[in-house]
Structure formats: C-alpha cells, structure tokens
Structure 1
Amino acid sequence: METNFIQISDIHHHFSNYDSLKMRLMLEEYLKELSQGTRFDFVLITGDLSDKGAGFNDEISGFLDLILSSLNLTRKDIFIVPGNHDLKRNVPRKYVIEGIKASLSKDELDEALKTEDTKGILLESFKDFFEFYKEYTEEDYPRESFHFIKTKGKCNIIHLNTCLTAYTSNEEGTLLIGRQKLIGCLSALKRDPSKINIAIGHHTIDCFHPDEITSIVANFDDFGIDMYLSGHVHKPKYHIEANVHTPYINLVSGATHSDDYAVGGFISAKVAFDSHELEVQYHKWHNVDEYWSTTNDMGRLAKSGTLKHKLKKFEKRAKQLDVSVDLTSLRDDIEDKVRIDEDEFKQFIIDFHQHPKKKGEITSYQTKQKEIEEKFDNMRCSSSFEKMFLDYAQYFTAIEEILNSTSYIEADKKEIVSELVIETYLGIHSKYDSGDVIFTTMVDAIQKQYSETLSYSPAKTRRYIRILTCWSIYDCNIFNENKVEA
C-alpha cells in the first residue's frame, strides 16, 4: 500500500513575469505526465498563494484547479495553509505583535489570543484568506483553532498557521507558533501507528524564535510527527531531525514563481507502507531552457534523484506485527500435546467459576455473530492460529454443556469466564495489531491471575485458558475489531 502526494508552495500568483507565467503553464503538462505513472492522493499548498497581501481572485482558483485536474483530483483533495503574503498588514497588527514579542513570557502569544480584542486584530489580517478558503474548499477555515487536523486516507494532515506573528520583512528567527495552541492541536492526534502524521506550515522551523524551535521539535517528537513540509524561503532543501526519539524529516519546497532569488520547484512524495519508507523527489524548473524535470542536486542523500527516508514508527510497528507466536511451544511440549480429558476440563471450568479473582458486576453483551474466517482476516491472524482454533473447537460443546446448566455452576457465576476474557481483551487489544499477539498476551495475563488459585499443572492451566479464550472468540465476545483498516 502507498500514498502519493504533491507539495506546492509560494505561488505568489500576482507576480506574473514571463518566467513565472511559462513555469506555471508548463507545470500543468508536467503534472499530467507524472500522473500517468502514479496515482496521486492529494495536494498540499504551503502558503503564499497571493503576493504582498494583494488578495485572492479567480485566477488563483483557476490555477489550483488546473493543478488538481492534471492529477485527476478534485477540490476535496487539496489542503492549504496561509503564508505571510496571504495576510494584510496594518498598524494595529504591528503594535500588537511588537508588544507580544517584547514580552519575556513564553506564553505571551497564547495569553494574547485569549483576549478577544487582540485575537480579533490578529485574525482580521487573514480575512481575505479565510474567505478564499471557504469559497474554494466549501469549508470554513477553523480560525479559532489556529492549528487543526484533517484526515485523508491513512494520513493525518496537521495544518499549522505559522504566520500569527508575521507582519514585516526580515523577521526570521522571531516568529511565534503559540505553544499552547500547538500542543492543544497535536494532543488530538490518535495514537495510531498505522497512520502517518504530516505537518504543514508556511515557514521553515528555523524561522521561529529559538525557544519556540526547541518546543516545536520536542512536540513533533512527542506526538509522532513523521514529516514537516514548508516553503517561504523559495529554495528547496531538507533536514532530518535526529536529536529525537523517532527521527522525522523537514521538507522545504521551491517556489512556483520566478525572480532573481527564487528557485522554481515543487515536491512529490510517496509513502510506501510495506517498506516503511518515504520517497521524495524534488522537481525543478529550468529557466534557461524552459522545462520541468526531477533534480539530483539536492545533496548526497538525494544524488540518485530520490531522497529516501525510513519511517521508524512503521518499522517499530512491523517488528510488533512480526512477533513470532510459536503455537507449537504454546502447547507446552509433551503434556500439552496429550488429548484433553473432557471430565477434567469440565471440572476446570467449574473450578474456574468458583474462584473468581474479579468481583463486582461487569456487563457482558454479544455482538451479532460474524463468520470466524472474517474475524481471522480482520484481526490479522496467522494460518497457524486458525489451525489451533479449529483443534480447540471440538471442546466448545463441553463449555456450553457446563454453562447451559445450573447443575454445575450457580446461575450468578455463569458469566465469569466471559467477563474476565472480555475485560482482559479490552485492556490490551488496542496496543497490538496482530490477533496472534493479542491472543498470547491475553492468555499470559489470565494465567498469571489464576496461577495460584487452580490446582492444575501450569501446562494444563495454560491450555485450558487458551480453549476458553478461543470459545470467547467463537461466542463473539472478542476479536470483533478490524486491524486491517485501523
């Protein structure tokens, strides 16, 4: 499985000299060529659609439409954050920002945003952008949130407004992100190791105040950001942040206009979930000969034309999924391979119910029974697990004989097995993505809880618990999640 996307930045559409016009015109055809061999899933626009606060018009919308149609995408497949040229600057904004930056408090921006007057002045500058965003995407920009998350397939796209304190030139190294707002946004990310977290913003990380940089990097690490895509500097580059627990990559796109400073370019990227790798290609506009192509002049790691970056988070997940559950050893060698004495097994069930370790009422309910084969597929169970389950299925009749009669167990104790298995399952299933691993972890936990209560050998106790757990799967109490789509 893979996800492919395009990042385009710094369009500055009002800047329309010959080179810029030709670059944009040829971009449409070039993207069509790329889409012939690759199915793209979405487009990221990282700010400065406009130029010097000149506002938004139908030409900007038309240009974005051409980009999307070239990639066989629609307006539902584009994600946009503002740049410093997309806002209007005025004197009140200048004074408010100067006051915020002059404060010694690390929380000054967040505190200022809690004041309606100050927040209103800062947000007023984005009015044109907000109106354009709503008209183009048919959705309101979450202006009150400042930073927010949208989901596309297996990607969380974290939108960061890096322009909250932008108002003048040469302000790199002084910008503020609003750290309370940042962690408020990032903490909403679900801890889902199967999804990739893509943060997008206009400014590069080093445009922020040094104190802010430290916090941004730490929070990207703590909340599992896999990559940060930005623009602003009009020159493509990349940087791998290694001083973190899980290295993430900063990708910076070139510009989509041409002047004496800007390097024309954009980024295409592929997330290969099977190989746990991000593959990035930088595309460059050649002004002299007037054509687009991939480029390999982005440094040593990209000398082949493709920058490859291992997604450590997915590697960790793969190791978890590759945990070998040796179902032969689970049968505890010689004793566990002996055919079960049915009378002894029935007595085990009775003893198990007469010595509950968990007191109090736990509501038990059953979902609509699904085909066992579908459960195995959804829970990523191995063929060996399925064989073990079928071997144990012959004993389900004994369990039901016990539980369907009050001759063996008092009526008020009949739910003990189901409740214990369900509770154990609920406590661990979200931690693992393999049904084999979930099953083995459950058996470990239940055996540990009852090891000193039941007078059976450890091998028999373990096997009986496995049978009871398999019966709970059959009875539709557990294994109802879909780990494939999660």
Structure 2
Amino acid sequence: MRLIHLSDIHLSSSNYHEFVHKYRHALISDLKIYNSSKKIDVLLITGDLVDKGGHSLLEIEGFDEYTNPFDIFNEVFIQPVIKELGISSEQVLFVPGNHDVNERNFSHYDECQLIDKIKETSIESYLKDNRTGFLHNERIQNFKEFEKSFHATNALYDFTNNHSTYLYNYGQSFKIGFILINDSWRCKTRKIQGENAKLFFGYQQLDYSLDYFESQNTDLNICLFHHSLDDYAEQKEVERILKSKEIELFLYGHYHNTEFKMSYSPFGSCIGIRGRAALNKPEESVSEYQSGYQIIDLDLNSYRVNQIHYRKYIYDSSRFDADTETAEGGIDENKQIFILERRNRKPKGFDLEREKFFKS
C-alpha cells in the first residue's frame, strides 16, 4: 500500500506564482514517476492547506467569484493532481491546521469566555455541541464546509465538524481505517492572557473514531493530526491512547521539518512520522525547512512500513529529488523499527520481498 504524505502547503498569494508556474508541475511529475512503479492508494495532507485563513487567495485575479479559499485550493492543487495521477477524490484526505482557521470569525469576548470554561474535564461537552453545528468553532467553518462538500458522495467517509473517519478497502483482504483529527478548532494567532500555553482539542475524538473502527473490524488504523503531541494540553491522554489502543501509525506536520516518533509501552506501540512543509516558502535557504514530502510504503501482509521515500524540492532547478539530508539516499528502510504492532494480531501472509533474501 502506498501513501503520499504532504503537509503545510500554506498556499497564498505570496507563493502562488511559484506554485502555478514551477512547483505544481514538478510535484505532479515526481508523483507520476512513483505512481507508475506502484499505484498510489491515498494522498494525505496533514493541515495548513492555506496560509493565514486563505484570505489572500481570494484577492488573486481570476478568483473574484469565490467566497471560500479552500475551493480555490481544490481547483488549483487537488484537482490537477488527481487528474494527472488518475486517482479519485475519495483517495485524498486532509485535516485542518492552525492556518486553516478563519480568525475573522470569532470575537474576543466569546474567546475569553471559552478560555475560562474549556478544560480537559469539560471539553467533551463542547465537542458534542460542535459535532453538527458551529456554536463554538466558527473559525473552522470554511474548512469544514469544504471538507463536507468534497467528500459528500463518498459512502465510506463519515463526516463531523470534529473528527471524521474514512474506511479504505485495500484489495479484497484489508480494511484500513483513517482517523482525521480536528486539532485546530481552538487555534488562533495570539494567546490571550491567562490561557494555557498548550492546545486543547478534545482527545475524545480518538475514542469515538476507534469505537467505530472496532465495529468495522479494521486491520490497520492510521491517524492524521496537524500538531505534534507535545503541543497538546491533553498530551498524556493522547499518548495513552496511541500506546494502548489500535492506532498503528500517525502522521503530522506543523513544524516544517521531519521527525520520527515512537510511542511505546508494554501494552502497545505506535509510529509517528512528521513531514516537511510541502510548499510554504519554496525559496527557503535553511535546508532543514526546505520544501518536501514523503512516500510511505506499507506491507500489509506483515504489518510493517517497508520504506519511506523522502523527497525534496530543489528550488534552483524547479524539481524534486531525493532528500538525502533526512535519510541516506533519500530512502529509510529501518524495518526493525517499522513494525506496525497490534496485540493478538497475526500476519495475514508473508512479506513478498523476503524472497530475495532466501535461495530458491
């Protein structure tokens, strides 16, 4: 199974020219090469599709009729990619990041009220209010309305204004559950005096998703966040779920550089992979923060990550190449660590690549 992981695109008027005239062609060309050798199953975007709420996109010539910047993102980014790769919109999943909130859609007074009231013990009641409406989460409305419309015809996609879930059938044998966490509905540019420095989002989103996937008997569950675990006020509860419940892999972004994280306990484990900013500032001079993305190959027969291809945008020549700074040759094959463990689960088959290690 092949996953594409993009994060932190930050599409805006400032990078739009580079994107349209150089970057988009380079990305699609690179993806087509990998798609020709092994078909891409799902393309994942872990937040910050647009920059600062996407308002600058609405000011670009030709987009006068648009009111939601995510519709512009869909037209210029998602649709060209899926058309060239020959995949469907059902194979594209995304979660919101802090830049995907519309800060014009909340008042200082209401925000101060929420800060006083929202605690780890009370946030679940706010999740229930938010599930189908926008009583406390107006800032995420543009994103969520776009998400709902984008997946409207996908019968295997269960949408809420909090988390959403998607059930992907791989071949005839495997059910893959995708948990799409909304960890950005409380985000804003500036903290208010007295506010917790960490982010509350409602870890119960994970529990609700896992309850559903348990009823569906999924073989593997993959979670998408935007933020890192240590950004959460609920970090302890989130890590507890990742270590002990049936989530084998989580992907995230936010910091614009790569990271590999292993959440482990005697009762279970989970692998976390953070990606570079896919676009953001394409002319970035600091190598660690230059644009790039990941191709993650899973072997579902033996439940492991076979390899991760790290790709990097080379600004001077407008192309993608191996990200040799992150992994030797741009490919990580650390299979001893890349095991997707689940208690009491037995492999359904054998790793076909093992054949090359044995004599016939």
Shared fold by TM > 0.5? yes
2:309–2:330 Cα contact (<8 Å) kept? no
Q: Deviations over 1:376-416 (max 9, x none)?
A: xxxxxxxxxxxxxxxxxxxxxxxxxxxxxxxxxxxxxxxxx
User: Which residue of the partner structure matches residue 186 of structure 2?
Assistant: 165
**Structure 1 residue 102: deviation in Å?**
4.5
2:248–2:270 Cα contact (<8 Å) kept? yes
User: Which residue of the partner structure matches residue 86 of structure 1?
Assistant: 100
1:48–1:82 Cα contact (<8 Å) kept? yes
Q: Relative to structure 1, is the Cα distance of residues 156 and 102 closer, same or farther in structure 2, using a 3 angstrom cutoff?
A: same
Matched, 1:249 2:271: yes
**Structure 1 residue 233: deviation in Å?**
1.5
1:267 to 281, 286, 294: 294
**Structure 1 residue 243: deviation in Å?**
3.9
Matched, 1:196 2:223: no
Unpaired segments ≥5 residues, structure 1: 323-486
The within-5 A match list for 1:223-302 is: 223-243=245-265, 245-259=267-281, 260=284, 262-278=289-305, 279-298=307-326
User: Which residue of the partner structure matches residue 338 of structure 2?
Assistant: 310
As a proportion of its length, which structure holds more helix?
A: 1
Question: Looking at both structures, which has the greater relative contact order when contacts are Cα pairs under 8 Å and sequence separation is at least 6?
Answer: 2
SS in 1 for 2:331: coil
Q: Relative to structure 1, is the Cα distance of residues 270 and 95 closer, same or farther in structure 2, using a 3 angstrom cutoff?
A: farther
**Structure 1 residue 320: deviation in Å?**
9.8
1:276–1:314 Cα contact (<8 Å) kept? no
TM-score norm. by structure 1 comes to: 0.58
The within-5 A match list for 1:42-191 is: 42-53=42-53, 54=55, 55-90=69-104, 92=106, 94-102=108-116, 105-114=119-128, 120-139=134-153, 144=160, 146-153=162-169, 154-169=175-190, 174-190=198-214
2:8–2:254 Cα contact (<8 Å) kept? yes
- Distance in 2 (alpha carbons) for counterparts of 1:113 and 1:274: 37
Q: Relative to structure 1, is the Cα distance of residues 46 and 243 closer, same or farther in structure 2, using a 3 angstrom cutoff?
A: same
User: Which residue of the partner structure matches residue 454 of structure 1?
Assistant: none
Larger radius of gyration: 1
Percent identity over paired residues: 21
Structure 1 counterpart of 2:134, which letter?
G
Structure 1 counterpart of 2:30, which letter?
Y
- Distance in 2 (alpha carbons) for counterparts of 1:191 and 1:222: 18
SS in 1 for 2:187: coil
Q: Relative to structure 1, is the Cα distance of residues 24 and 91 closer, same or farther in structure 2, using a 3 angstrom cutoff?
A: closer
Structure 1 counterpart of 2:47, which letter?
G
1:218–1:244 Cα contact (<8 Å) kept? no
Q: Relative to structure 1, is the Cα distance of residues 98 and 186 closer, same or farther in structure 2, using a 3 angstrom cutoff?
A: farther
User: Which residue of the partner structure matches residue 36 of structure 1?
Assistant: 36
Unpaired segments ≥5 residues, structure 2: 56-68, 170-174, 351-360
Judge which range, 136-145 or 122-131, deviates more. 136-145
1:255–1:266 Cα contact (<8 Å) kept? yes
**Structure 1 residue 256: deviation in Å?**
2.5
Q: Deviations over 1:36-57 (max 9, x none)?
A: 1111111112122222112223
Q: Deviations over 1:17-63 (max 9, x none)?
A: 55544222210111111111111111112122222112223353331
Calculate the aligned-residue CA RMSD, in Å.
3.3
- Distance in 2 (alpha carbons) for counterparts of 1:194 and 1:86: 30
Q: Relative to structure 1, is the Cα distance of residues 289 and 316 closer, same or farther in structure 2, using a 3 angstrom cutoff?
A: farther
**How many residue pairs end up in the alignment?**
316
Structure 2 counterpart of 1:164, which letter?
W
